Amino acid sequence: MQLPRTARVHIAGHRGLVGSALVRHFRSEGFEDLMLYGSDRVDLRDRDAVRRLYADQRPRVVVLAAARVGGIAANAARPVDFLSDNLRIQVNVLDAAREFGVERLLFLGSSCIYPKHAPQPIPESALLTGALEPTNDAYAIAKIAGVLHVQALRRQYGLPYISAMPTNLYGPNDNLDPRTSHVLPAMLQRTHEAHSRRAARITHWGSGTPRREFLHVDDLARACLFLLEHHDGDAPVNVGCGEDVELRELAELIAEVVGYRGTVEWDTSRPDGTPRKLLDTSVINALGWKPEIGLRDGVSRTYDWLRTRR
């Protein structure tokens, strides 16, 4: 089912890492009517504001990429914010979508919704089968609620709304703040600063032994439109590259891309998080989608962006 390129599409969270990639991709695919409202114009945590927006603009398609996000430090420091803000954003947008006739909607969750000790690679069926990683459980619970909300809308109202669970993402417009960023951009920024200062050593968080899967955000944007046009089902769909890497290896790759030749050390007093998190992507692969951007190429592109940003 090809979406009409004249359809009004609300990309919620269009200024963030994922949202900005969605804007780039949808525009490149010929979509002419994108609804782009930043939080300075419409606070998605405000139920009345969201209802007014949808009553006035009447989008036909919604991609719900708006969220409060952050790495281990941010999640551990502000669990209430991550739970409360994300719940309110999701409930407000999903309820308004139903009330004002949105025809297709994609809710973006996160791979952190799966149990800490889920089987590897993690199938979609692992959802709600075990305890969560405690360092991001508040965020994970909010995202799980979003998945169940989408499923409830399908059951009660027969709406063709779907959910996707991306793996760890990175790319242009990523958050580089060391207090709130995710692991890859944090490592990249730290290594860039050390290289610029000609520092003899840098220190990354944890032991370096956890394994993580990384997907360039432009590949995720392609996957989002692909799912809207090729998938309709209750279960969330994993979106990843199908390969993971030890964080020590990632640190070495980043150092090579940046050109940093100092010593890389690890602060084992800092938490590691989930020991491994690799998604089973057989469902989306069987539908015909695969990523196009390899990790080294993706890190290089992201570093080019980091060096030129103002």
pLDDT (tens digit per residue) in 145-177: 999 999 999 999 999 999 999 999 999 999 888
Q: What is the pLDDT of residue 193?
A: 95
Annotated active-site residue 161? The verdict is: no
Output phi, psi for 309, to 5 deg: -70, 155
In the predicted structure, residue 310 carries a pLDDT above the cut 60: no
Q: Round the average pLDDT of the chain to a whole number and report it.
A: 94
Which residues are CB-contacts of 232 (< 8 A; sequence separation ≥ 6)?
160, 162
Single out the catalytic residue among 54, 139, 170, 303.
Answer: 139
d(CA 208, CA 211): 8
Among residues 76, 89, 88, 77, which one has the least CA distance to residue 16? 89
Segment 11-23 shows an average pLDDT of 96
DSSP single-letter state for residue 123: P
In the predicted structure, residue 228 carries a pLDDT above the cut 90: yes
Binding-site annotation: residue ranges for NADP(+): 13-19, 108-111, 143, 166-169, 182
DSSP string, 132-161: PPGGGHHHHHHHHHHHHHHHHHHHHH---E
Among residues 190, 183, 155, which one has the least CA distance to residue 246? 183
On whether the CB atoms of residues 239 and 214 are closer than 8 A, the answer is: no
pLDDT in tens, 165-215: 999 999 999 988 877 788 899 999 999 999 999 999 999 989 999 999 999
Structural domains in the chain? 8-174+214-242+278-292 (3.40.50.720)
Q: What is the pLDDT of residue 157?
A: 98
Segment 44-73 shows an average pLDDT of 93
**Angle (CA) 35 36 40, round 5°:** 135
